[in-house]
Amino acid sequence: MAVMREKLSGLWNRAREALTGWVVPSCDVAADESADARLERLSYQWLGCSAAEAYNRLDAGELGDSVVASTLRHYRFLRSLDDGQRIR
Amino acid sequence: MSLVRRSARECFDAWRKHVASVIASTLTKDQQVGRVEVSPTVESLEFRAGAVPLKTTVGSVYFHFMQGLRAKAVTNREFNLELMKYSYRLQIRDISVAGEPLFRWEYEFDDQGKHTTRPHLHVGEKVQLELTNSTLDISRIHLPTGLVTIEAILRFLFSELQVKPRCRDWLDLLAASERSYYQHFAFGF
């Protein structure tokens, strides 16, 4: 039954894509990346340093209102959320 | 009304599907929307590549977005999805420290409801408004907005900056997606 449903879903998606050019995005079961891994990767890619060093530069005011700064602040904020409570 | 599902994972999946669908159908199918896990109940949604280059009336512009989401347990079998933070950003350069941002729409949950964390807009970088006896740096002030949806940003890109949409019925698609948002998600503060 599950196999049949999957086949029908695939056929429907291909038909819709052929008719409208709209690709139905896949919906992953798991997240694509962990925040730690992404921050470390982006810090090296953007600044050539570790995430810890990137946060030091952020706190020293070196990064201004850049995307880099925005991203680091984004993850710092999200880490401060814990099971429905903001840690202050 | 806000989204309620049986698990945090289902909440995140439903929201990602909503955002990824409207982006794939109107803006780009090449740049995928990815989920970044902060904890089992906190995730971030953003372009996997970081930023998407767009051709506009003012040349190439990079579109960058991040949404911070939390799935909060309302009972032991129900989770409610909350939008805790967002950043929609258009800038002249790709990821760089200099940046040259054109527009930044931002919001961050704050239980004290401070003006600077409520939904707001920054315009440009060092944009001076000359007044009779002084100047005002428009880019530094927080211009209040309502909660800005991804559909509103896409509509702005197509209507005002002449970004080429992927389909002719983009107005209808955005309207339908926005209706779905208000019907199924509609984040509050």
The residue extents of the domains of chain B are: 4-185
Q: In the structure, what pLDDT confidence band is assigned to residue A18 with cuts at 50, 70 and 90? A: low
* CB A32 within 8 Å of CB B38: no
Per-residue pLDDT of chain B (189 residues; tens, 9 = 90+): 578 899 999 999 999 999 999 999 999 988 889 999 999 999 999 998 888 999 998 899 999 999 999 999 998 889 999 999 999 999 988 766 666 789 999 999 988 889 999 999 999 888 888 999 999 988 889 999 999 999 999 999 999 999 999 999 999 999 999 999 998 888 766
Tell me the nearest-neighbour CA distance from B6 into chain A, angstroms.
Answer: 14
| Per-residue tokens: B121 | 């807009």
The single-letter code of the amino acid at B164 is K
Q: Scanning the structure block, which residue is given the tokens 């991203």?
A: A71
pLDDT, mean over chain A: 75
Q: Does residue B37 sit at the A interface (CB-CB below 8 Å)?
A: yes
Cβ-Cβ contacts under 8 Å, B25 against chain A? 22
Interval A13-22 mean pLDDT: 52
The count of CB pairs under 8 A between chains A and B is 119
- Would you state the pLDDT for residue A32? 83
Give which of B30, B60, B65, B67 is closest to B47, Cα–Cα: B65
Cβ-Cβ contacts under 8 Å, B97 against chain A? 46-47, 62-64, 66, 68
Instruction: Report the SS3 class of residue B126.
Output: coil
Terminal Cα-to-Cα distance of chain A (whole angstroms): 51
Cβ-Cβ contacts under 8 Å, B12 against chain A? 31
The model's pLDDT over A62-77, given as tens digits with 9 standing for 90+, comes to 998 888 999 999 999 9
ipTM of the complex: 0.90
Q: What is the DSSP letter of B167?
A: S
Tell me the nearest-neighbour CA distance from B92 into chain A, angstroms.
Answer: 11
- Would you state the pLDDT for residue B170? 97
Q: Would you call B36 and A24 a contact, using CB atoms and an 8 Å cutoff?
A: no
Give which of B98, B6, B44 is closest to A76, Cα–Cα: B44
The pTM of this model reads 0.84
- Would you state the pLDDT for residue A23? 44
pLDDT for residue A27 is more than 50: no
Q: Quick count: other Cβ atoms within 10 Å of Cβ B34?
A: 18
pLDDT for residue A83 is more than 60: no
- Would you state the pLDDT for residue B96? 64
- Would you state the pLDDT for residue A26? 40
Q: Does residue B32 sit at the A interface (CB-CB below 8 Å)?
A: yes
